[in-house]
Chains A and B, each alone.
Chain A
Amino acid sequence: MKILVTAKRVTDPNAKLVIDDDGSWIDDDVEYILNPFCENAVECALQLAADHDAETIAVGIGDEEVQRYIRQGALARGIDRGIHVEADEQELDSDLIAKILKALVEKESPDLVVLGKQAVDGDSNQVGQLLAEMLGWPQATFASDVKIEGDEVIVTREVDGGLEKLAVTLPAVITADLRLNDPRYASLAGIMKAKRKPLEELELDDLDLDGEEPKVRVVKLHEPTGRSAGVFVADVDELILKLTTEARVL
């Protein structure tokens, strides 16, 4: 059995992002972390691999720095090997990522692809779904529990008002929710061992995707407009007056 899992780096949600002067991108000099949902995906892959004796492969897409997160976020936790697909991160959208993953699936023939349900930077929540559609594979998104039974994956999903249980046939695409598991530490021994694990470097060219364009482009980034300080009002009458005459919402 073979499991492909995604390892995306995202800007640390606690970091202060600085937007480039021309509003085209963010200043790269910022802390990155492995996308927390990818951590869940990695943990899921490792647990399944332990129970079903599977080979695990982590994929990261982006510039060279991405390799660090494949190694330290995925390989250091126990994923067997990595694949880095070199790409300009400004020239990627969910559609192109899904196409890259599809090409890798065709190259590696995994039985299962596990992704984070979304990345906490763009919050698009599309790649898993697009990939399943492109491959013509069944998908089970927002997994909070995953079990393999025979040639089926039994996935519990958290939906409004309760839990939904799906059985999807392999090969399949799964996206991981936060409550799926408690990701293990990358142990210090794991960090050292990860340096010696294989990490294949590919270009879009190698996947016959050279010249492939994203369908979505970032036109401009800007900071949220600052909020002005609130004012205290003496009573309800004044509040209504202000809402009518100043805020003009009534």
Chain B
Amino acid sequence: MNATSHNPSDEQADLAAIRTTVRRFVTREILPNIERWEEDGSFPRALYQTAGEVGLLALGFPEAVGGVPSSEMATLVVVEELARAGSGGLIAGLLSHGIGLPPILALASDDLAAEIAPAILRGDKVCALAVTEPGGGSDVANLRTTATRDGDDYIVRGSKTFITSGMRADWLTTAVRTGGDGAAGVSVLAIPGDLPGIQRSELQKMGWWCSDTAALHFDDVRVPARLRCGSEGMGFLGLMHNFNRERLMLAGMAVAFAEVCHADALEWARDRQTFGRALITRQVVRHKLVEMQTRILGAKALLHQTARQVDAGGEPVAEVCMVKTLATDTLEFVAGEAVQILGGMGYMRGTRVERIFRETKVLSIGGGASEILRDLAARQLGW
């Protein structure tokens, strides 16, 4: 999945072309509707197919299954453009296969991958990752959903929660326990969403309104054993495999949303008059805006540096942890300040700033909570 162009100006041209296409997609398909989708708590399924035609869903996946291999930098460009719509829920929902599909590709046989992946990358099927359980999300190695072998099938029993696209996913990439305690007992099953015994219930959230989030209950669901991805006990490794990409992408979202907040706050500060002058003329406000921008630039610099390290074939696990926490901390700060600068208007539904403010926490929790990532970074650094 490495960069296909090495000449820097070629790479710039690619990124510019990708940006043009995604910007057009966002302008035509998302911006006119996002307000309504957020209020409705859902976006139409057809958007997956449109995104599939544009190639958005295929980006970063191998050609063999219908993907378009790309660099991390390209993914960041896509995220940046999608972020202009100011809805993290849309990104999380539309790209839920971005976390759901990689474990399948990392573990499953080529045949199984070829059976599952192309329809997802075309946008015909929706894929979700089901790892987190009511009993805990950070401690994946101790998950409790069991899959017990019965002839050619597994019988799956247990619950998952907070699953993005969980309500309408056709494929549930599900982490289950097939063996003993700990990481070595975890396997991954690609579970078709229409199997008997799967119950789904929708969860109401602080933000990410237009992405559906579900609690899933597996009530003795009979899953053909051939849908196991990789051998028994390999699941944990397969899930880990994708963490770097997922975390970089979440960091990319955080930085991009911080930029949106800053842009909207700056525009507001220029227009808004109080006590006879524009807000932007007040030192308090100017300093706020500069502090916001300073933190954004810092996070973005580390983000790009880390993405380039990954593009060059590196696995900078500690840096990825650090950039995710830096980026999400930056967003929490910047979104808060942006709401403050907008005053009462920043508290009103309908502004991007208000919506993004409600979406800050999920980025600091999902894909590895900040505390967990700091711990991991320390261990990676040998401390």
Contact = CB atoms under 8 A, between A and B. Distances in A.
A is bound by B: yes
A67 B18 CA distance: 16
A188 B5 contact: no
A192 interface: yes
Given A72-B13, A185-B54, A192 B68 contact: yes
Contacts of B53: 185, 187
- Contact count band on A: 10 to 19
B55 A72 contact: no
* Chain B interface mostly: helix
Nearest to B68: A189
Contact of A189 (B5, B10, B24, B55): B55
B4 interface: yes
Interface string B215-239: 0000000000000000000000000
A68 interface: yes
Contact of A195 (B5, B69, B70): B5
B206 interface: no
Nearest to B56: A188
Contact of B25 (A185, A192, A195): A185
Contacts of B21: 185-188, 191
Contacts of A192: 4, 14, 68-70
Residue among A188, A189, A195 with max Cβ neighbours from chain B (10 Å): A188
Interface in A187-202: 187-192, 195
B117 interface: no
B256 interface: no
Contacts of A33: 20
Contacts of B16: 68, 72
Interface in A178-219: 185-192, 195
Interface in B57-91: 58-59, 68-70
B54 A188 contact: yes
Given A72-B17, A76-B17, A195-B10, A188 B24 contact: no
A16 to B, nearest CB: 17
Interface string A234-248: 000000000000000
* Chain A interface mostly: helix
Contacts of B24: 185
B68 A186 contact: no
B107 to A, nearest CB: 25
B20 A190 contact: no
A42 to B, nearest CB: 14
Contacts of B4: 192, 195
Contacts of B5: 195
Contacts of B20: 33, 72, 186
A189 B70 CA distance: 10
Nearest to A69: B17
A188 B13 contact: no
Interface string B5-28: 100001001101110110011000
A185 B51 CA distance: 10
Contact of B55 (A68, A71, A188): A188
A188 B10 contact: no
Nearest to A34: B20
Nearest to A185: B54
A33 B23 CA distance: 13
Contacts of A68: 13, 16-17
Contacts of B68: 188-189, 192
A187 B54 contact: yes
A68 B4 CA distance: 17
A71 B17 CA distance: 9
A195 B11 CA distance: 11
B55 A190 contact: yes
Contacts of B25: 185
Interface in A63-109: 68, 71-72, 76
A68 B69 CA distance: 20
A195 to B, nearest CB: 7
A191 B14 contact: yes
A234 B350 CA distance: 40
Interface string A111-154: 00000000000000000000000000000000000000000000
For the complex of A and B, 8 pairs with smallest distance between CB atoms: A188-B55, A187-B55, A72-B17, A189-B55, A189-B68, A191-B17, A185-B54, A188-B68
9 contacts: A33-B20, A185-B54, A186-B20, A187-B54, A187-B55, A188-B21, A188-B58, A191-B14, A192-B68
Interface of A: 33, 68, 71-72, 76, 185-192, 195
Given A187-B54, A187-B55, A192-B4, 17 more contacts: A68-B13, A68-B16, A76-B17, A185-B21, A185-B53, A186-B20, A186-B21, A188-B56, A188-B58, A188-B70, A189-B68, A191-B14, A191-B17, A191-B18, A195-B4, A195-B10, A195-B14
